[in-house]
Amino acid sequence: MSVNDFLRDYGDITKPTNIIETYLSLYGAVNFTSGNGIVSDALRDDYTSFGLYTARPVLTLLPVDKNAIYPPLYSSYTKLGTYLVDPFLDFRWVGVICMNFLYGLFAMNSFKHYAAKNGEYYIVEWSLFIFCIFMCAFTNFFHMFFVVFFFIVNRIAIK
């Protein structure tokens, strides 16, 4: 049995695919399925976090019980539920639309500053935004402390 056959069997993929298509289908399907499960659980339980997931970089610095603030049942980071889950848990569909708009606005603004030669800082900032956007299919990196910390350190080091 080849690796492709094993992955196709594991993912219940019935169509003929090559290894790359199988891998992408399996990885993407698992993430969107787990994200759908998290959203379904949140809707069933009427759970809304009202911005706690967006404020995660700040809250990770505080000495509080993270499991009380972020229930493991709704963890898009441990379950890899795509980046859409956290804004949805914060403010439902309004959060998803607004946060996507802000991600695009910040990335566009950083690139415009870099293209206008306003400083070296902006290419690093833009590349971090692009990294987070590319990783969106897997999990939300925008709310991670290390990303915010990297922005701050980069701003201090280059300016």
What does the block give as tokens for 143? 């709310």
Assigned domain for 1 exists: no
In the chain, the number of structural domains is 1
For the chain, percent of residues with pLDDT exceeding 90: 8
Please, which pLDDT band fits residue 93 given cuts at 50, 70 and 90? very high
Assigned domain for 72 exists: yes
Q: What is the mean pLDDT of residues 9-20?
A: 84
Tell me the C-alpha distance between 140 and 86, whole Å.
Answer: 7
Assigned domain for 21 exists: no
Statement: residue 148 has pLDDT above 70: yes
Tell me the C-alpha distance between 60 and 95, whole Å.
Answer: 21
φ/ψ of 117, rounded to 5, equals 60, 40
79: nearest Cα among 133, 33, 135? 33
Task: Write down the H helix ranges in 46-144.
Answer: 56-59, 66-69, 85-115, 121-134
Predicted pLDDT at 45 = 94
End-to-end CA distance of the chain: 56
Residue 114's domain comprises 47-158
Assigned domain for 40 exists: no
Assigned domain for 27 exists: no
Assigned domain for 91 exists: yes
What is the per-residue pLDDT across 55-78, written as a single tens digit (0 to 9) for each? 887 787 788 888 888 888 887 767
Predicted pLDDT at 3 = 87
Assigned domain for 11 exists: no
Please, which pLDDT band fits residue 46 given cuts at 50, 70 and 90? very high
Assigned domain for 17 exists: no
Please, which pLDDT band fits residue 141 given cuts at 50, 70 and 90? low
